[in-house]
Structure 1
Amino acid sequence: MSVLFSPIQLRGLKLPNRVMVAPMCQYSAVNGEANDWHFTHINTLALSGAAMFCIEATHVEAIGRITPGCLGLWNDATEAALRPIIASVRKHSKVAVAMQLAHAGRKGSSHVPWDGGQQIPLADGGWQTEAPSAVPHKESELAPLTLDTPGLARVRDAFVAAAKRAERLGLDAIELHSAHGYLLHQFLSPISNQRTDQYGGSLQNRMRYPLEVFDAVRAAFPENKPVGVKLSATDWVESGWDLTQTIEYVKELKKRGVDWIDASSGGVSPLQKIPLSPGYQVPFAQAIKEATGVTTMAVGLITEAKQAEEIVASGKADMVALARGMLYDPRWGWHAAAELGGQVEAPPQYWRSQPSTQKALFGETKFGAR
């Protein structure tokens, strides 16, 4: 029996398998509002066979966007734009729908990747970013403003407001983005956090604000629905954030009831040196799981069904999250289930698609025609 296609419980949410479609920025929103691109993208991958789909980094305020094309959930218009998309998913799929709440901090005001991804100057329509400290991501960039006490409260409250909007949309789970060099990661890393107040310096102080945001979001979201955290387990830079500090952070999150850790890495410095290879981040998920007992998701260059099966069957992680692999093969879950002997949910319109050798892929389906 496939472990990848066995159920798992996340608080009150029971998932039929251990595959999640990872949140993937589409850089295609207008004023933070989802549109027909998101409708197609989300509805397509809601039928991937994964048990959970996580909506891309959804920014809690306009200046918290990475690019002008990033998705948001900070006002009634951004909330309303997502509503028909979620309704369509619910009509045609049983997938659980999560959302990653995010704030880019000093990495905001950037061009979309296919236009180079560099910072947009203020004169060209960019905006003044904010961060833990007035330290730019790259030396050539405009420095961010240091978040003061009212600013910290404003951003925290924006995360809370977005969580409440996510609940109004009927979403099943939230993932807080504390990775890839964005705002919450910027507080954690000594590379980007050079504060001298209670939010900087020691590990305890650097963790303080991300933990305050988690506490506030957890309190605002229904008790029976899970809240997870995506984090970078290392900066891949000497004297930066590392796995030892990550484990201490996860221990604190565990005390606060975190439901999963999505273990990624990097993003806070252009000096990073990442040794890319298939499954290169899996050891981070394994180390976190072994040290804390928290449910973990492995991410990063996981593309093959047997590779994903080995990760969960060996106990290195409890789930896997796929991004590029899902874009390349939007039925990845179907194909993995067929290879591993699992079953997936599929709409009846597609039942006839299963090969004659895979009669049990969609369960015991019956499809007659006159």
Structure 2
Amino acid sequence: MNLFDPFTLKGLELKNRVVMPPMCQYSVTKKDGIPNEWHDVHYTSRAIGGAGLIIIEMTDVEPDGRITDNDLGLWSDEAIPAFQRIIDACHQYGAKVGIQIGHAGRKAQDAEVPVAPSAIPFNSEFKTPRELTTDEVKEMVEKFRMSVRRAVKAGFDVIEIHGAHGYLIHQFHSPLTNKRTDEYGKDLTKFGREVVEAVKSEIPSDMPLLMRISAAEYVDGGYGIDYAIQFSKEYQKAGVDFFHVSTGGEGPIGSGGKPGIHGGYQVPYARKLKRALHVPVIAVGNLDDPILANSVIGNGDADLVAVGRGMLRNPYWTLDAAVQLKQQVQIPVQYERGFPRMKK
């Protein structure tokens, strides 16, 4: 098995196992959540560059759910044509397209009053959020449902629910941030499960559902992989078909700090989740070296590999990886002169 073998799950068929993960562009200029020309070029260029699956950045279910006012949103039907335009363009070059649906919760920096499971600020520099009422939590589930309904209308090939990096679903299932006393505090996965069930009711039966999780919190008292496996099993029972395994998000430590950002530093978490749940996983975390990325697939540690910063630097990362790994791929005819001839 290698990076350029096809991958199939339900009705999703990918030409290779290279994923462009969701990475916020903070480039919405009219603050309406609707993609613009930047997004068109950004995503389509990675499709031309050979990625098998492109996942559009976190797209929020309500205006105050955005990290910033310059983020994407899918709370209105008016956004559907713009997303459809990106999907159609990427499909022309053989890429499949997903979208990450989420809500920033207490990390919504531009919201006048952010909302969260409990009134606990992220840190001293962030606003103190307002605790959602029980009825508001149920309404939030419906906002996720409606955003996914619009995503399906736009033509996405797969939906990813954002349950990682300290955003709203993560805030609900983390003991650090959920101190509620109602039904959503007594059962920390209840909100996430209800979102999964709502999403499943909106997507076609042959469309797999993806969920991104943080497998560990790098803070004192934070959870680790064993707890992540527990809550992931609950989401799997609710309908998640495969997982995108990251870490962090509930403290100051991220991709630029401890516990270290050596190549493949998060792969062990993906491997453990894959083996515990017997489910396909996407590995992520400094996998920009094609040989390393290929080894993750070849060793059976993950089924797909996400290359983030590598694709920010080079839209054609996938084509370059194919050359380095001596794999035959379809080079756009316009670019053939720029690549060495590979024997068929």
Q: TM-score, normalised by structure 2?
A: 0.94
Deviation at 1:127, TM superposition (A): 1.8
| Match of residue 3 from structure 1 | 2
Q: Which is worse superposed, 146-155 or 347-356? A: 347-356
| Match of residue 27 from structure 2 | 28
- 1:232 matched to 2:233? The reply is no
Give yes or no for contact 2:64–2:114 (8 Å, CA) kept in 1.
yes
| Match of residue 115 from structure 1 | none
| Match of residue 231 from structure 2 | 249
Give yes or no for contact 2:46–2:315 (8 Å, CA) kept in 1.
yes
Q: Which amino acid aligns with 1:348?
A: V
Q: Within 5 Å, give how 1:53-64 maps onto structure 2.
A: 53-64=54-65
Q: Which is worse superposed, 242-251 or 66-75? A: 242-251
SS across alignment from 1:27: coil
Give yes or no for contact 2:192–2:235 (8 Å, CA) kept in 1.
no
| Match of residue 194 from structure 2 | 212
Q: Within 5 Å, give how 1:1-370 maps onto structure 2.
A: 3-29=2-28, 30=30, 31-90=32-91, 92-110=92-110, 126-201=111-186, 205-270=187-252, 273-356=258-341, 358-360=342-344
Give yes or no for contact 1:57–1:102 (8 Å, CA) kept in 2.
yes
Counterpart-to-counterpart distance in 2, 1:312 and 1:224:
24
Give yes or no for contact 1:34–1:81 (8 Å, CA) kept in 2.
yes
Give yes or no for contact 1:11–1:224 (8 Å, CA) kept in 2.
yes
Counterpart-to-counterpart distance in 2, 1:318 and 1:84:
29
Deviation at 1:47, TM superposition (A): 1.5
Deviations 1:147-167 (A, max 9, x none): 112211221111111111111
Give yes or no for contact 1:109–1:128 (8 Å, CA) kept in 2.
no
Deviation at 1:140, TM superposition (A): 4.3
Tell me, which stretches of 5 or more residues in structure 1 are unaligned?
A: 111-125, 361-370
Counterpart-to-counterpart distance in 1, 2:167 and 2:206:
28
Q: Which amino acid aligns with 1:82?
A: F
Counterpart-to-counterpart distance in 2, 1:131 and 1:232:
18
SS across alignment from 1:150: helix
Counterpart-to-counterpart distance in 2, 1:140 and 1:104:
16
Give yes or no for contact 2:212–2:245 (8 Å, CA) kept in 1.
yes
Deviation at 1:37, TM superposition (A): 0.6
CA RMSD of aligned residues (A): 1.6
Larger Rg: 1
Counterpart-to-counterpart distance in 1, 2:112 and 2:82:
24
Regions of 4+ moved over 6 Å: none
Q: Which is worse superposed, 63-72 or 11-20? A: 11-20
Q: Which is worse superposed, 335-344 or 266-275? A: 266-275
Q: Which amino acid aligns with 1:28?
A: S
Tell me, which stretches of 5 or more residues in structure 2 are unaligned?
A: none
Deviation at 1:196, TM superposition (A): 1.5
SS across alignment from 2:195: helix
Counterpart-to-counterpart distance in 1, 2:330 and 2:228:
36
SS across alignment from 2:327: coil
1:337 and 1:271, CA in 2 relative to 1: closer, same or farther beyond 3 A? closer
Give yes or no for contact 2:134–2:182 (8 Å, CA) kept in 1.
no
- % identical equivalent positions: 40
Give yes or no for contact 2:47–2:90 (8 Å, CA) kept in 1.
yes
Q: Which amino acid aligns with 2:298?
A: A
SS across alignment from 1:220: coil
Deviations 1:188-246 (A, max 9, x none): 11111111222125xxx111111110111011111111110000001112322221111
Counterpart-to-counterpart distance in 1, 2:48 and 2:284:
20
Counterpart-to-counterpart distance in 2, 1:128 and 1:18:
40
Counterpart-to-counterpart distance in 2, 1:230 and 1:69:
22
Q: State how many pairs are aligned.
A: 339
